[in-house]
A and B are shown apart, each in its own frame.
Chain A
Amino acid sequence: MRTLKLATLTLAAVLPLTSHAHKAWLLPSATVSTVDQWITVDAAVSNDLFYFNHVPLRTDALSITAPDGSQVTPENVGTGKYRSTFDVHLQKNGTYRIAVTNGGLMANYEENGQMKRWRGTAAAFAKEVPANAAKLRVSENAGRVETFVTAGKPTADALKLTNVGLELAPVTHPNDLYAGEEATFALMLDGKPAVNLPVTIIAGGTRYRDAQGEIEVKTDAQGRFSVTWPDPGMYWLEATLEDNKTSVPQAKQRRVSYVATFEVLPQ
């Protein structure tokens, strides 16, 4: 089983678009809090929601945006066998955006008869990958895994779009979700509405039920979609697409993904 999974991961790096093999997620200890409190966050990649039983989610590209737009340094950051964890001190009133982004280029090529693998930014690509590299294959990624936490009253400044990849533009605030009520969000691709994009939503606790219970919706012409939360709990949302908006001509395709964890509260 383990070798099978490793093989799948390796393939995932090479294949243009694979099936949703594993789910990446951030799980905050609380999404509704008050100023000066702490939260802790688990970050993992697994099949089951939200159980850390496969591999940790790397926190190298972790970015925590405070309600005023400033960056917050995570504390007690650690990566174990199955999960990464970190703490966040909520020192300001308002909404925090906690995101792990995965952007850049991946290249495979042959050098002196040996296969080389390279990962990096578009700027580094020209310097580090030989222009005449043999058997060069380049792919580009723009991934975002995020969640939202609010101290006090929900605010929107931290939710400003970066206009890179897929992002959530809230209509309903992501920390104002309640069972039995409808929430509406927009998905934006590079800052523009992501039209007609399938979105999958799955409630946590999959270990204790037989079916995944996916909620499948599609974005409209404004990139918007709505969901009525059936029950309180933690929910995982994912949308993926593939396009050719690459940053270097050698990369033919770009894989874009968006994942968010939401907490839905009881009435």
Chain B
Amino acid sequence: MRVMKTLLTTAIGLGLLASAPSFAADLDIKVEVPRIDVAEYHRPYVAVWIENPDQSINSHLAVWYQTDPKKEDGTQWLKDLRQWWRRGGRELSMPVDGVTGATRPVGVHRVLVKGTAAPLAKLAPGKYALVVEAVREVGGREVVKIPFEWPAAQKQQASAAGKAELGTVTLEIIP
């Protein structure tokens, strides 16, 4: 697990001034699925969520898993995203509209969360973390976290990089 301590410091100061969450900032998230040179490669399962300070899940943003109906039921391996599973994945009934989707190939994938819609429209001011967890069949597992404060009055950017199963994860908060 790698926690990037890039605190969005200006957001702290401005957050105090901002009494109501009227900013409606978007979260523009980029998740890199790295190229891994192995004989047997399977696309990773990936979960992206907003974490509360007590590590509970505030909102599920994305879950990519094996959804092909012609293959074996892919939900049976969701538990291997074990942090996500523990914190709330196990309480969901798959699929989840607007959250779940098929596994992604190697490359950078964008998750754009609009500030005007749920869950951001209802996100209370406070400290959160963006968490990305990836697990790969016959491979490893990794969690990357980017702390952020909500709301943000100015455009913010932070990134963190995984060592094995995730490439660079970038979080942009765009008011």
List of B residues within 8 angstroms of A113 by Cβ: none
Given A153-B90, A153-B91: A32 and B79 within 8 A (CB)? yes
List of A residues within 8 angstroms of B73 by Cβ: 36
Task: Decide if A152 touches B82 in the complex (CB within 8 Å).
Answer: no
**Nearest Cβ in chain A — how far from B20, in angstroms?**
35
Q: Is A3 close to B, CB under 8 A?
A: no
List of B residues within 8 angstroms of A152 by Cβ: 90-91
Q: Is B86 close to A, CB under 8 A?
A: yes
Interface residues of A in 148-178 (CB under 8 A from B): 152-154, 176, 178
Q: Is A222 close to B, CB under 8 A?
A: no
**In chain A, what residue has the closest Cβ to B80?**
A32
Q: Which of B1, B76, B78, B86 contacts A265 (CB 8 A)?
A: B86
List of B residues within 8 angstroms of A265 by Cβ: 82, 86
Q: Is A91 close to B, CB under 8 A?
A: no
Task: Decide if B78 touches A178 in the complex (CB within 8 Å).
Answer: no
List of A residues within 8 angstroms of B78 by Cβ: 34
Task: Decide if B82 touches A176 in the complex (CB within 8 Å).
Answer: no
Given A152-B90, A153-B91: A266 and B76 within 8 A (CB)? no
List of B residues within 8 angstroms of A36 by Cβ: 73
A154 to B83, CA, bound (A): 15
Chain B proximity mask over A244-267: 1 for CB below 8 Å, otherwise 0: 000000000000000000000111
Q: Is the interface of A mostly helix, strand, loop or mixed?
A: loop
Task: Decide if B82 touches A34 in the complex (CB within 8 Å).
Answer: no
List of A residues within 8 angstroms of B85 by Cβ: 32
Q: Is A102 close to B, CB under 8 A?
A: no
Task: Decide if A267 touches B91 in the complex (CB within 8 Å).
Answer: no
Q: Is A206 close to B, CB under 8 A?
A: no
**In chain B, what residue has the closest Cβ to A266?**
B82
Q: Is A37 close to B, CB under 8 A?
A: yes
A154 to B85, CA, bound (A): 11
Q: Is A33 close to B, CB under 8 A?
A: yes
> Can you give 17 A-B contacts (C-beta < 8 A)?
A32-B82, A32-B85, A33-B76, A33-B79, A34-B75, A34-B76, A34-B78, A34-B79, A36-B73, A37-B76, A152-B90, A152-B91, A153-B90, A153-B91, A178-B86, A266-B82, A267-B83
